């Protein structure tokens, strides 16, 4: 093979490599936030668990006006298996909702469905125990659907819209691709993808790592 052919083949290979690299680097970067098990309560249920007139106290500010409170509860499955120190997130909501991982569901012995936050109809039953009382929920325990919070400006830059379902890739040693990721857009949101602890551990991802949006 003469030198001109070698040079041509080398050029084509390098171009192909650069094209692949460019393709791999494409996609909007999104930081990860790993979400541990937690609970949202109504004011009525706050008072059942912590006492009449009780108000949640703020521990840490979160996006969208939410906060991690100082208060924690114990959740109990139908087989009387319990998980303690489940963080309460505020402010209070119109419906009480418990968000756990699949591993938590196995431990508790509950069949928690994968749902978007707020969609609790027909979800798993769970008992909640606080320092002043306890309650039983006929429904309300879910595994949260993975999702990306973003502002309208981020959504425009990423080329996505509220309610879109996308795939994202973690460019680490696991190289995990997450499908079925819901886009949630609001002026109060900070750019962040939320996954639970099971998903984070399986993909070897930690809070602050980044993923790329691949497609809608």
List, for residues 39-98, the tens digit of each pLDDT value.
Answer: 999 999 999 999 999 999 999 999 889 999 999 999 999 889 999 999 999 999 999 999
- Residue 26: band (very low, low, confident or very high) from pLDDT cuts 50, 70, 90: low
Closest CA relative to residue 31, chosen from 170, 187, 197: 170
Which SS3 state, helix, strand or coil, does residue 58 take?
strand
Q: How far apart are CA 129 and CA 84, in angstroms?
A: 9
User: Is residue 65 domain-shared with residue 123, that is, in the same domain?
Assistant: yes
User: Is residue 153 domain-shared with residue 197, that is, in the same domain?
Assistant: yes
Q: The domain containing residue 174 runs over which residues?
A: 28-33+147-215
How is residue 49 written in tokens? Answer: 């668990």
HSE at residue 131, side-chain half, CA atoms within 13 A, is 7
Res 78: pLDDT: 85
Question: If 0-12 CB within 10 Å is exposed, 13-18 middle and 19+ buried, where does residue 17 land?
Answer: exposed
What is the average pLDDT value for the chain, to the nearest integer?
91
- Residue 21: band (very low, low, confident or very high) from pLDDT cuts 50, 70, 90: very low
- Residue 19: band (very low, low, confident or very high) from pLDDT cuts 50, 70, 90: very low
Instruction: Indicate whether 19 belongs to any domain.
Output: no
Query: How many other CB atoms are there within 10 angstroms of residue 98's CB atom?
Result: 27
- Residue 9: band (very low, low, confident or very high) from pLDDT cuts 50, 70, 90: low
User: Is residue 154 domain-shared with residue 107, that is, in the same domain?
Assistant: no
Last residue of a domain, one of 144, 162, 179: 144
Indicate the pTM of the whole model: 0.84
Q: What is the mean pLDDT of residues 135-162?
A: 97
């Amino acid at each position: 093979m003469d030198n001109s052919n070698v040079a041509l083949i080398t050029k084509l290979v390098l171009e192909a490599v650069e094209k692949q690299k460019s393709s791999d680097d494409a996609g909007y970067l999104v930081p990860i936030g790993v979400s541990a098990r937690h609970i949202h309560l109504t004011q009525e249920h706050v008072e059942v668990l912590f006492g009449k007139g009780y108000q949640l106290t703020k521990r840490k500010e979160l996006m969208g006006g939410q906060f991690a409170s100082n208060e924690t509860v114990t959740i109990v499955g139908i087989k009387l298996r319990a998980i303690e120190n489940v963080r309460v997130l505020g402010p209070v909501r119109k419906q009480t909702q418990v968000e756990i991982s699949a591993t938590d569901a196995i431990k508790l012995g509950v069949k928690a469905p994968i749902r978007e936050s707020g969609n609790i109809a027909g979800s798993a039953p769970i008992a909640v125990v606080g320092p002043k009382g306890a309650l039983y929920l006929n429904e309300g325990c879910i595994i949260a659907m993975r999702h990306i919070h973003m502002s309208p400006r981020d959504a425009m830059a990423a080329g996505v819209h509220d309610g879109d379902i996308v795939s994202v890739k973690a460019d680490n040693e696991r190289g995990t691709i997450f499908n079925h990721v819901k886009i949630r857009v609001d002026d109060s949101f900070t750019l962040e993808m939320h996954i639970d602890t099971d998903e984070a551990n399986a993909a070897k991802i930690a809070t602050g790592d980044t993923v790329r949006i691949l497609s809608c």
